[in-house]
Amino acid sequence: MAEDRRTRRSRRALGAALVELVLERGCAALTVEDITERADVARATFYAHFRDKEDLFARVTADLLAGLAERLEPAVTDSVVGFTGKPVLEMLRHAREERDLYRIVLRGEGDGKPLRMFTDAVALATAEEFRSRAERNAVRPRIDPELLARVWVGEQIAVLRWWVEQESPSLPAEEVVRMLLDLALRGRYWASGFETLD
């Protein structure tokens, strides 16, 4: 039991050190020694858990995704018919809590691999939800759910990155979600100020 706690503590310390150092220097410039020194963890301990810094970054990203999935589950379950905005609001709240980690993932640090992991996982879950929602409501999607999910997630990630990069977001999460809800329901043409397509 004590060993499990020690292992969790070491992994947390290494993950936190990675995030801090990537924000300071960028991922390419880091060495395992930099990370272990900042975390105050022996190199042997690092290599007992991870192959290299990329492996650590992948683990930290996987943990972020697991935490996000846990947060999203109740919001997605509530979303029976259409876009309610609840999952996006939960994602923004999660990003606010894990701001530094979201920043380095969404910037594409680590040769873009963590960003691809994040994008692929969220797009897969979104496509499944789109299919499930269509089935529950006995409707047939007009656009392939995988393509639709990629478009939707791409927009979310662009908004999310913009939002977490601000020192003090100019718009609260609730306002961002309200605007995205309007966009989803009324379209880009309406959002640009036009009333109808002629």
pLDDT higher than threshold 70 for residue 78: no
Locate 150 and state its tokens: 């990629």
DSSP structure class, residue 86: H
Between CA 180 and CA 187 the distance in angstroms is: 10
Question: Chain-wide mean pLDDT for the chain?
Answer: 91
- Residue 126 burial (CB < 10 Å; 0-12/13-18/19+)? buried
Distance CA 50, CA 71 (A): 27
Q: Is the pLDDT of residue 83 over 80?
A: no
Segment 177-190, tens digit of pLDDT: 999 988 888 888 88
Sole residue written with tokens 């894990």:
98
Domain with CATH 1.10.357.10 in the chain: 52-190
CATH number attached to the domain at 1-50: 1.10.10.60
* CATH 1.10.10.60 domain extents, the chain: 1-50
Closest CA to 94 of 158, 164, 162: 164
pLDDT at 197 over 70: no
**pLDDT at site 186:** 87
Which pLDDT value is given to residue 2?
Answer: 58
> Is residue 105 predicted with pLDDT exceeding 90?
yes
- In CATH terms, 52-190 corresponds, of 3.50.50.60, 1.10.357.10, 3.40.630.10, 3.90.1300.10, to 1.10.357.10
Residue 4's pLDDT band (cuts 50, 70, 90): confident
Q: Is the pLDDT at 61 greater than 70, yes or no?
A: yes
Question: Tell me: the pLDDT tens digits for 106-162?
Answer: 999 999 999 999 999 999 999 998 898 888 889 999 999 999 999 999 999 999 999
Cα distances from 148 to residues 123, 126, 192, in angstroms, run 9, 9, 21
For the ranges 18-27, 74-83, 136-145, 177-186, the one whose mean pLDDT is highest: 18-27
